[in-house]
Structure 1
């Protein structure tokens, strides 16, 4: 009788055994994959959110700058080079040396941006003025560009171009360019000029001047962040599903062997 009671005390609890057998078992390989990918996906999501915040800050700063009254070129020269400063120009365009910034599209239509030297009489300096975008659907026919020959009073804003590499010497005018490099242009023309790009506001001598401040709006960055977070959630859900399914399969297999 005592032996029977002692054996009963050490008999395994079926419920406890079932819980142990059904323990979460995702496997080594899925665990390693999740440990490698999950931090990356979450990190990319937060990086996109930070980029969205940066773009909002940039747009807000640009809007504040462009609400200011325009300053003269002489006053601009006393400031460090920066973008989105409104300026007022007074002088004349150089129609003999036109540069066409290639590979520019608006609403799906191919075209170029027209850049010309401008001598500002108040600052006594050459400026590289971007007059805006014009369509160029047929490359066999040069784009038609009319340039005023009289003195102009223009409002514009500064832009600091980011050159992607050294510019190759080109011959002839007008010439196609793939990046804005004002110092290189002044060197080609043997002139002293500003390193800034001056983008015209809508008005006299301007073409299509609807320039985006940022290439990708904040909303698109948020959309990408949502996609990365969704992938992280999907990966976690798949990991849980595999672990639970393997646990059930192991439990069913062990129970079948016991029976």
Structure 2
């Protein structure tokens, strides 16, 4: 009983902590988003200077280096159901005398459920463009089994993006964050309806309730069986 009770309490508290983290993150993003937009072409920015801040950048995409991050579901507004898909990550070469790269999460694209190697059709401007978005430490991580994927594979379909790994193989210096692009739909085949940071908070609360209920059930079972055993012993002794 004590083991089950301890597990239930610890797991429930962990779920509540995850919910609190998401709420704090959402508040941080809201506060930083209200600050002045950063021009990434101005200097060599750091993550601490830019995280959660609105940014803009002028340059051109490098479509030959595109990475398709798998297992990124998205909610369809029309049906309310989730659909499997990719985050499309692409390096962006900044204009200027000192060439620098920044990775851009261009948006979400649906996945072919029959063959994951049949990639959705997207368009990429060839000329220099200005993009806007939010600076983030990364595109978010999902569970990954195995070693770092081979960057020479084509197409590059993988679970996560390691900025340190990418910086070691790219020709140009790389900024230590990504841009989550927020530009409106431009007919490029990508969706940029991003989930809010508090997505999943209700699910964490529900899981916490289940774990606490498990602990309470173990305590109630122990008390009930112990009381019945005590009563039966009393009857036997009389």
User: More deviation in 186-195 or 142-151?
Assistant: 186-195
User: Shift of the alpha carbon at 1:215?
Assistant: 8.5
Identify if the C-alpha distance between structure 1 residues 75 and 143 changes in structure 2 by more than 3 Å, giving closer, same or farther. Answer: same
Please say which of residues 202-211 and 112-121 is displaced more in the overlay. Answer: 202-211
Match of 1:189 in 2: 170
Offset at residue 243 of structure 1 (A): 2.0
Task: Write the deviation string for residues 126-145 of structure 1: whole angstroms up to 9, x where unpaired.
Answer: 11111111113143533212
Give the match's secondary structure for 2:89.
Answer: strand
Structure 2 residue aligned with 1:42: 9
Q: How far apart are the structure 1 equivalents of 2:204 and 2:44?
A: 34
TM-score by length of 1: 0.73
1:62 alignment partner, one of 26, 29, 40: 29
Distance in 2 of aligned mates of 1:141 and 1:39:
48
- The runs of at least 4 aligned residues of structure 1 exceeding 4 Å deviation read 162-166, 213-216
Distance 1:81 1:193, change over 3 A: same
CA 207–229 in structure 1, closer or farther in 2 if over 3 Å, else same = same
For 2:189 and 2:30, how far apart are their aligned partners in 1?
20
1:152-163 correspondence runs (5 A): 152-161=129-138
Conserved 8 A contact 1:70-1:155: no
What secondary structure does 1:48 align onto? helix
Matched, 1:133 2:108: yes
Separation (CA, whole Å) in 2 of partners of 1:130 and 1:144:
16
Structure number having the greater helix percentage:
1
Q: Which runs of structure 2 are paired with 1:101-250 in the superposition (5 Å)?
A: 101-107=69-75, 108-121=82-95, 124-137=99-112, 138-139=115-116, 141-161=118-138, 167-171=148-152, 174-203=155-184, 204=186, 207-212=190-195, 214=197, 217-250=200-233
Q: Which has the larger Rg?
A: 1
RMSD across aligned positions (CA):
2.9
For the Cα contact (< 8 Å) 1:126–1:192, is it kept in 2? yes
CA distance in 2, matches of 1:120, 1:219: 40
